[in-house]
Structure 1
Amino acid sequence: MSPGEPLFVEPERRATLLLVPFLVGAAVAVVLGVYANVHEPTGIAVNVAGFSGPLEAKVWMTSAAALLAVVQVVSALAMYGRLGRFEPPSWIGALHRWSGRAAFLLTVPIAVHCLYALGYQTATPRVLVHSAAGTLFFGVFTVKMLGLRRDGLPGWALPLLGGAAFTLLVALWWTSSLWFFTTFGVRF
């Protein structure tokens, strides 16, 4: 809000505060999807020391990001007072912010690998869902991060965006890590 603007913002105006973040997030998702679709996949992009290959690194990093996303949901529920009579500790906000940052940082090399090495694929329903969820995750994440800095948002906005980001990250884990572990076994 700008100086001199009333503290009360009409509900219609409050929802429009998400318009710019939504447009930027949509642009992020579209650009990632288009790039992944037109880029010629190389097959190899990222490998992390300690793993036997890039797919193993990808599935374990996705699993760690998904676990941190669970921390995000539980800490958000605590901050919003949705865990019953549980009084959240003073450090819960910091836990929420840092677990989110760590989860996001884990997803960046995964996204680079997927975009550069594999591209946007549609060979099977699992792969199509994975490709769509990956591009949408970064779009929703962008909207949420830009929305955090907007005063006067409707009360439903951040929980909805956080829930959407969590759902997409779980879909990514389900269509990559869980599939990998059940198909090839647990390996590093």
Structure 2
Amino acid sequence: MTTVHQPTRSLTPLLAPLLIGGLVVLALGVYGRVHTPTGFAVGVAGFSAALPMKAWLTTGALLLAIVQVVSALSMWDRLGVAIPPAVHRWSGRLAFLLTIPVAFHCLYALGLQYDVPRVLAHSGLGCFFYGVFTAKMLALPKRGTPGWTLPVLGGLTFTALVGLWLTSSFWFFTAVGLKV
């Protein structure tokens, strides 16, 4: 009787990505807390104000993140439909790019706030989103990681973005309306 040995998958390759991701969370949180908010950070070209800009860009990022989930399921052969891997890569790139002006405005103009529970949750989720995204991107090229690495880190990234959308865009659309 012969025994087939599966290659051992170690957590060691994940240490650096997780540590760096944790440092990103910490750095963003500390910066957001100690930086004196300016009240203004980015131009809102095409939008009436900063809040509508942030709400709509975050909504775009969320829609692209849904494409990310569907295309990831396709790549892992969970749908029975082949979606080109380029769809996954480009939807992720575009989603991330849409979050940059939003995050910059949040951190630079508003800082990390904790006086309102919704805003505290939003601030924490924003820091977590960039930290877990960093860890996912750094873990992506690593060989020998456990098979759950990318689905878990990708799922956490998606969940953080959904939480960000709920505590910002959804709040804005329901409290203020569908302003542009």
Q: TM-score range by the shorter chain?
A: over 0.9
| 1:42 equivalent in structure 2 | 38
Query: Please, what TM-score do these two structures have when normalized by structure 1?
Result: 0.90
SS at match of 2:129: helix
Specify the code of the residue in structure 2 equivalent to 1:102: L
- Identity in percent: 58
CA distance in 1, matches of 2:150, 2:44: 33
2:175 alignment partner, one of 156, 162, 183: 183
Amino acid at match of 2:76: Y
CA distance in 2, matches of 1:53, 1:113: 12
Distance 2:45 2:91 in 1: 23
TM-score relative to the length of structure 2: 0.94
1:21 corresponds in structure 2 to 17
Provide, for residues 16-49 of structure 1, a one-character-per-residue CA deviation record: whole Å limited to 9, x for no partner: 1100000111111100100000001111111231
1:124-163 deviations in whole A, cap 9, x for unaligned?
Answer: 1111110000000000000000001101111100000000
Q: How many angstroms apart in 1 are the aligned matches of 2:138 and 2:34?
A: 28
User: Unpaired segments of 5 or more residues in structure 1?
Assistant: 1-7
1:118 alignment partner AA = L
What displacement does 1:15 show?
1.3
Letter aligned with residue 62 of structure 1: T
The CA deviation at 1:9 is 4.5
Q: Which amino acid aligns with 1:52?
A: S
1:80 aligns with 2:91: no
Structure 2, unpaired ranges of 5+: 1-5
Do 2:71 and 2:88's aligned partners in 1 also have CA atoms closer than 8 Å? yes
| CA drift at 1:166 | 0.1
Aligned residue in 2 for 1:151: 143
